[in-house]
Structure 1
Amino acid sequence: MDFVVSDLAVARGGICVLEGVNFTLRPGAALVLRGPNGVGKTTLLRTLAGLQPPLEGQISAPPEAIAYAAHADGLKGTLSVTENLEFWAAVHGTRGIDHALDRMNLRDLRDRRAANLSAGQKRRLGLARLLVSGRPIWMLDEPTVSLDVASVALFAGVVRDHLGQGGSALMATHIDLGLSEAAVLDLAAFRAQGRVQAAHGFDEAFA
């Protein structure tokens, strides 16, 4: 099923930052969000993921279809790599984490506590959560932060496989992942004129 965004306006701190955003993300497709710092990439992704309401417009997505990977890795430091993935698999009602350990090169780290991982290892573990979510639409906010060149290539392969299996991906990234099939949406074209309008009383303090 398509993920459709129509005439969307989003706000940060009660100020509209993007308006008139329209796109359709189809199964098997990837869309890369581009634009200067502060244009509203994170705000848009948070809105699309359901973490804050839009000011205007419509978001049409299958229920329980979205897995969102933000700047934070979403890890429990006192749990091991295995325990973190098992936790997220249980949250999503899926079974098995071996494929996630293998695909994100975490097998040798499976018994290490997340608090003792390097920044890049933590990022790989955070991204591995996508593989145990069982959800077809991945929304990724700068997913390659802290990753070395080899890990970026590893993750790009994971995304490519996800698309090949009928999944889709919406990514805010300045890094070329080598996904020639990915379309690009420049959010600068949707920059709002700074009109103030609180989003239903919601304070987007973390947008």
Structure 2
Amino acid sequence: MNLRSIALGVVLACLAERSLASTDVSQLLKQGDAALANSEFSSAVKFYTAAIAQQPSAPLLYTKRAAAHLSLHQPSQALRDLDKAVELDGSFVQGLINRGKLQRQMCSFAAAERDFSRVLELKPGQKVAEAELRRAREAQAKYEALEAAVAAAAERHAAAEAEGQGASVAGRDMDRLRFSFDRLYEDAADCVKVGPSAGGENALCGGAV
């Protein structure tokens, strides 16, 4: 690639940035939503970022960008955006629900419970929050039970090896528990399964509550 081509690329990029900077926030939001709906997730992030640059105190914009980050398998960036949305408005129900869902998917069950409980303080009887709170508590209970079972199996395995008997039996026990943990990730917590393949992530954004 010659210098002229590089220079042209830089100029075009600058023009694109200026175009976004001069576009109305509502238009940027529409463009971001359209890009998200069309699975153009990187473009959606750019549109929402441009909108945030103009209106940095709007929690909805961070929630929208979080959905795009999730679709790009970027849960850490999504969590930062949701943290910012809730920081800007501690009573932003959609932001709390979205963050709670992500916290649960990342196996941060206590944090998820706090968000869903906060929603129920703000809106008693809120159906989504009630269902998600139950799901988080059930997942945490199963997770803790399996952790305890794995610890016990590890002790049995060590004891069997020390005694020189039945180590293979203890090994099979561990294999069963590892399989149970795999099922836990899939069925109970959906841990770290955040992205298009997990299904439903785009529903985290927008939507009436």
Please say whether Structure 1 and Structure 2 have the same fold, judged by a TM-score greater than 0.5: no
What's the TM-score, normalizing by structure 2?
0.32
Which structure has the bigger radius of gyration?
A: 2
What's the TM-score, normalizing by structure 1?
0.32
Ranked by relative contact order (alpha carbons within 8 Å, sequence separation 6 or more), the top structure is: 1
Task: Give 1 or 2: higher strand fraction.
Answer: 1
